[in-house]
Structure 1
Amino acid sequence: MLKIEPATLHRIDDPRLVSLVRNLVGERILRVRYSVPAGVIWQGDTELDHVHEVDMGVELVTDSGLVLELSWATPGSREGLAFTLDRLEELRPNKLVDLVEVSGRREWSRIVGYPVDKIGVSFHVYSYDSSVRPWSFRIEMSNGCSLVVALGEIDGRILSYMPNNIVVMLDEDVAGEYYVPDSLQSAWGETVRS
């Protein structure tokens, strides 16, 4: 298992991030699941086309059994977007979290079944200690489509920063226009060189 806590990731060329990218590039995404608190029903569509709001995180499962989990870390000293890469058979059930299968939704048809081509990350300056931390994660597929998972929430048709909530953008233009306070890039981010 490779877990990268946001308070420890400050650079795009961090060896842990490069290792995560090397493991994912070429992998075919087969399943997508949203993490929500147990017993909570995921609401689905929002007023923004191709943008979802998710309570806790996103899991992407590949054809070789890798699972990439993108989730928010506890607001405060650990705040930011956490990345975990694990094997499907090593994941343990969590009675506090339900996984909502969204792979079959129309929006995901441009992602599911295609190999990962590139990965990007966006950083911002954390206001409490001026450290640089990740707040979004981009995956580009071999067919030219992409998804971006970032910290945020949707209020009507407006995206805004929320450290304990996730937005999933399946639209490059939306991701390119979404900035948070003290961000160094838009949610589209910078490509990780592996």
Structure 2
Amino acid sequence: MLTEFRNLVVGEVVEAVRYVVPRGESWPEGHKEDRVHEVDMAIELYMKSGAVLMLSWAMDGMSEGMAIEIKGPKDDPDSLPGDSVDVTIHVDWIRYLGLSIANIGVSWHIPNEGCPAMPWAYDFDFSDGSSLVVALGEFNNAMPKYLPDALLVFFDVVAATEYKIPANVASPCD
């Protein structure tokens, strides 16, 4: 299934980016935005083809992971209970506009005993050799920490490489 998903996404060109936040809020709403963004609900990558790639945190009982899906131009929009905030022209996102996705890597973890392996991070490589990582987590005491009910976008490779979670000793870039 991951191979099929990669085949759908690789080659897509990023045109716009939106963060989904709780209704009535904006972004960054107190979240860090210096080369690592904290996003409350979801990230939507709008592609030149009209497709939308959406990443969100997902929990099912003790299973905690990241959901990723791609919607075609004619699909119904998602019904997340939040507001979409356009971050396309944010300085950290501008460099990725017009670039195609060259590859997507996935990092897995077993969140709790008895749970299946779940994705906790996606590593996006782009056609110009740049990359970014989207992972479960949020800022706690000015440091990125694993918490499964928010997302972190790492634009800084060093910060992404240093980020580790309790259920997986590897970084999302490994």
Same fold (TM over 0.5): yes
Q: Does 1:136 align with 2:128?
A: no
CA–CA distance in structure 2, aligned partners of residues 171 and 141 of structure 1: 14
Residue matched to 1:50: 35
Residue matched to 2:108: 123
Higher relative CO (CA 8 A, sep ≥ 6), structure 1 or 2? 1
Unaligned runs of 5+ in 1: 1-15, 190-194
Give SS of 1:173's match.
Answer: helix
CA distance 1:38–1:125, change in 2 (3 Å):
same
Following TM superposition, by how much is the alpha carbon of 1:78 offset from its aligned partner in structure 2, in angstroms? 3.9
Size of the alignment, in residue pairs?
Answer: 174
CA distance 1:129–1:117, change in 2 (3 Å):
same
CA–CA distance in structure 2, aligned partners of residues 180 and 187 of structure 1: 9
Q: Does 1:69 align with 2:54?
A: yes
CA distance 1:114–1:95, change in 2 (3 Å):
closer
For 2:17, the aligned partner's letter is V
The one of 100, 103, 113 aligned to 2:98 = 113
The one of 176, 179, 185 aligned to 2:164 = 179
Unaligned runs of 5+ in 2: none
Q: Does 1:19 align with 2:9?
A: no
CA–CA distance in structure 1, aligned partners of residues 66 and 45 of structure 2: 15
CA–CA distance in structure 1, aligned partners of residues 78 and 161 of structure 2: 35
For 1:161, the aligned partner's letter is Y
CA–CA distance in structure 2, aligned partners of residues 63 and 39 of structure 1: 29
C-alpha contact 1:69 1:84 (8 A) present in aligned 2? yes
Give SS of 1:126's match.
Answer: coil
* 1:41-71 deviation line (CA, Å, top 9, x unaligned): 2226755631000000101111111111110
Residue matched to 1:59: 44
TM-score, structure 2 normalization: 0.91
CA–CA distance in structure 1, aligned partners of residues 111 and 27 of structure 2: 29
Q: Does 1:81 align with 2:62?
A: no
CA–CA distance in structure 2, aligned partners of residues 95 and 186 of structure 1: 29
Pairwise CA RMSD of aligned residues?
A: 1.9
